[in-house]
Amino acid sequence: MYYYRAIFKFFFDAVVFNIVFCLIMSLLTGFLWSLLFFNTVGIGVGLIGFRVFKNDEYYLYANLGFTKKNLISKIFCIHLILAMSILFVMALFKIIL
Amino acid sequence: MSTLVISNLTKSFHKKIILEDVSVQFSTGDILGIFGRNGTGKSTLLQCMFGILDSDSIVIRINNKEINPKDVIASKKIGYLPQDSFLPKEKKVRDIIPIIFPDGEDQDKIFYTQGIHKIENQKAGTLSLGELRYLEVVLLCHLKHDFLLMDEPFSMIQPLYKELIKELLYTVKKTKGIAITDHYYQDVLSITDTNVLLKDRGLIPVFDKKDLVLYEYLTS
């Protein structure tokens, strides 16, 4: 039994704060920099946002067997996959164009 | 039968010792009541047992096997009901259940539990305090954990839901060990098998209301 719904819920809850942060950063620094922020500093911003606004929900995950450390490592893995995908798509576009 | 033994639990905050060399144990089939005045460390005790709060020292044994406090959560042997709601308020009840119970059969058990059907289309954030607390207790009781730690399950709950919660706890205690802390002492005493009072950083065994008066938890 794997709690993929729970993990993705945690990811989406945290990524909302990350996206808002990156949108603001894209206005200040441009789109490409915001992509970089999304997969680096933005992860931390997302986790801080979750901690501030949804801290009580950590107990839900704890009851499912996930520690904070465990959840954070999963978020990093998802972001790593996302970053690789974005790089792949960008490289593909460069080849086509 | 499983037995949870906590020993040598000491916890301090900024040099103020809250719990000192506390020991407690209970088994599946037991409901343990933990009483104590505000600030005596009831919630701290449960959080240390659950491993979500670091303690200065603690030994946790389940069936004589020692567990590192950092591994308690991952072991999925102990469930914890915190004082504040832990459910996502923006989600409907019917969407929360599959998050916690991926298996269809387990989901059916929840949906067919008394009182759940009428709230399944409501968002958790719109439920009354009693409905929300009842839902949380139902969800925790259906997890496979051997032990449940419940922090104030009866607080601010109307009598109808209190009775439902008591009934449920009484049913699941056949397969789980439960520790409850709550100021609604009559509700707690009505379902517990053993009781302790947290006073002066340690636990004192108590048996009835008279003992709670004797140890100055109650005035009369």
B140–A63 CB contact, under 8 Å: yes
pLDDT of residue A32: 84
* Model confidence band, residue A1 (pLDDT cutoffs 50, 70, 90): low
Of the CA atoms within 13 Å of residue B47, those in its CB half-sphere come to: 16
How many other C-beta atoms can be found within 10 angstroms of the C-beta atom of residue B67? 18
> What is d(CA B101, CA B103) in angstroms, rounded to the nearest whole number?
5
Note whether B85 contacts A: Cβ–Cβ < 8 A. Answer: yes
How many residues appear in chain A? 97
Largest CA distance in chain A: 50
Residue B212 has pLDDT above 70, yes or no: yes
Distance of residue B148 Cα from the nearest chain A Cα, in angstroms: 10
C-alpha span between A64 and A75 (Å, rounded): 16
Burial of residue B64 (CB within 10 Å: 0-12, 13-18, 19+) is exposed
Give residues with Cβ within 8 angstroms of B151, minimum separation 6: B42, B43, B46, B80, B81, B82, B83, B181, B182
- Adjacent-strand bridge partners of B16: B13
pLDDT above 90 as % of chain A: 66
Q: Does residue A93 carry a pLDDT above 90?
A: no
A2 versus B40: the higher-pLDDT residue is B40
Q: How far, rounded to the nearest angstrom, does the alpha carbon of residue B180 sit from its chain's CA centroid?
A: 5
- Please report the pLDDT score of residue B113 as a whole number: 92
Q: How far is CA A13 from CA A42, A75, A80, B11, B203, in A?
A: 13, 11, 17, 33, 40
C-alpha dist (Å) from residue B39 to B35, B45, B56, B117: 11, 11, 18, 38
Task: Identify the band that residue B15 occupies on the pLDDT scale cut at 50, 70 and 90.
Answer: confident
Chain A residue numbers with beta carbons less than 8 Å from the beta carbon of B99 are 3, 5-6, 9, 60
From CA B189, how far away is CA B33, in angstroms rounded?
A: 7
Mean pLDDT of B14-18: 91
Structure tokens that stand for B25 in this block: 């144990």
For A59, name the nearest residue in chain B, comparing CA atoms only: B86
Torsion angles phi and psi, residue A48, rounded to 5: -65, -40
Q: What is the mean pLDDT of chain B?
A: 94
| SS3 per residue for B133-195 | HHHHHHHHHCCCCCEEEEECCCCCCCHHHHHHHHHHHHHHCCCCEEEEECCCHHHHHHHCCEE
Torsion angle defined by CA atoms of residues B80, B85, B88 and B91, in that order, rounded to the nearest 10 degrees: 120
pLDDT tens sequence across B146-173: 999 999 999 888 898 999 999 999 999 9
pLDDT above 70: percentage of residues in chain A:
98
CATH class of B3-86+126-214: alpha beta
Q: Is B104 on the interface with A (CB under 8 A)?
A: no
Rounded average pLDDT over B97-120: 93
Is pLDDT at A43 greater than 80 in this prediction?
A: yes
pLDDT for res B81: 97
Confidence band, pLDDT 50/70/90 cuts, at residue B110:
very high
Tens-place pLDDT, residues B87-97: 999 999 999 99
Work out the pLDDT band at A86, boundaries 50, 70, 90. Answer: confident
pLDDT of residue B145: 95
Interchain contact, B86 vs A3, CB within 8 Å: no
Distance set, CA B180 to CA B26, B86, B192 (Å): 12, 17, 8
* Percentage of residues in chain B having pLDDT higher than 70: 100
- Binding-face residues of A in 32-51 toward B, CB within 8 A: none
Specify the pLDDT at position A34: 87
